[in-house]
Amino acid sequence: MSLWLGQEVQAVLRGRGMTPKGFTFSAVSADVKGTGGTRPDMGLIFCDREAVVSGVFTTNLVKAAPVLICMEQAARGTLRAVLANAGNANACTGEEGLEAARVLMTEAARVLGVKADEVAPLSTGVIGVKLPTERMLPKVADLARSLAVDPGVFARCIMTTDTFPKIVSRKIGKATVLGMAKGAGMIAPDMATTLAVVLTDAVIDKQGLDIITRNAIVHTFNAVTIDGDTSTNDTLLALASGYVADNIKDIEKGIFEVIQELAMLIVQDGEGATKTVTVKVRNARSESEARRVGMAVANSMLVKTALFGADPNWGRIMAAIGYSKVDIDPARVGIEISGYPVVRSGVEAEGFSEDALHELLKEKSILIDIDLGLGPETFTVYTTDLSYDYVKINSEYRT
């Protein structure tokens, strides 16, 4: 069951008990960007008991202050709260950035009655700008006072260039899994996504939650790319409040499904995207080689712009396969686009028609199926086209 939250949908979510037991949520406006905005841009998730936590984080060597702190917290294994903000990444801010995050954590801990290191900080937004703690600190108490069972307020407050809040829930026996994420651009996570929180009331120990989370991202967030950029702030936190004992295999499946659907919502909301694109690479020697080929095609600016313009220039796909640094045999490569044969044995398929492919490429959902003819392994990558609007959005991000 996937839910994008309007008021009516929020009522449905609450009425069906699709919020995991033990968790409450709030959001306020702190004008984090300093532009006089009134949209909520700070959010809080609170657990009424100690929650087991697992985390996966950006592989970018330039890591934001909240990422460095969350990595330590996830290794320790328990949390009580998540304090998030949009509009400022608190990245490339040095020791001052770490101190700013800790000041906010300490204030949240004070008003919630927990320890400071039990509050995880998450930030997203502009890199290299100091966190405005003078505007944010007075809002922390408001967050604590307004905690309620509606997760939609948190999902909306972490949005930046997102066009809709991303929230997914599953009922697994008596347990519930709920996931929220933000992300539309600067996405080639290689770990998770820009920001994501997955909550469950199931009983899961630290080792089990780590395994479930890390396995889940391989074919979900690690299979998504919008623009090839890996953020400084990518974080996925999974928290288990431990209220409900249920079949762990079913819980694992539910967590995977929630994370998978969040990843696909991010693709659908890619900055300026007009089409969603699935790149399936088959018959590779290994899964890692299939992934490398898929990512090369999915990240190719020439492929993405051709898809935007419905240009039947299949040579761009072949070129990307060739520079993927996988030892392919061009004479074995086959390509179909949305079921239409384009390449056979490395050359244009017999009967190929540019007009026919042009019409297929006008569709909003496109499948690029690549057969390497080398072995038994498969990997699927999810991406978008690249439009004029992507350039406009990202050329004006700070202005």
For residue 75, the one-letter residue type is A
Which residues, in sequence order, are CB contacts of 212 under 8 Å at separation 6+?
Answer: 54, 204, 238, 251, 252, 255, 256
How many other C-beta atoms can be found within 10 angstroms of the C-beta atom of residue 4? 13
Place of tokens 């009922």: 171
Provide the residue type at 301 as one letter.
Answer: M
176, 193, 194, 220: the catalytic one is: 193
163 tagged catalytic: no
CB atoms within 10 A of CB 135: 16
d(CA 367, CA 355) in angstroms, rounded, equals 17
Query: At which residue do the structure tokens 């995977």 appear?
Result: 256
Residues 143/157, Cβ–Cβ less than 8 Å: no
For 172, what's the count of Cα atoms within 13 Å in the CB-facing half-sphere?
Answer: 28
Beta-bridge partners for 336 = 341, 369
Quote the DSSP letter at residue 229.
P
- Residues serving a catalytic function are 193
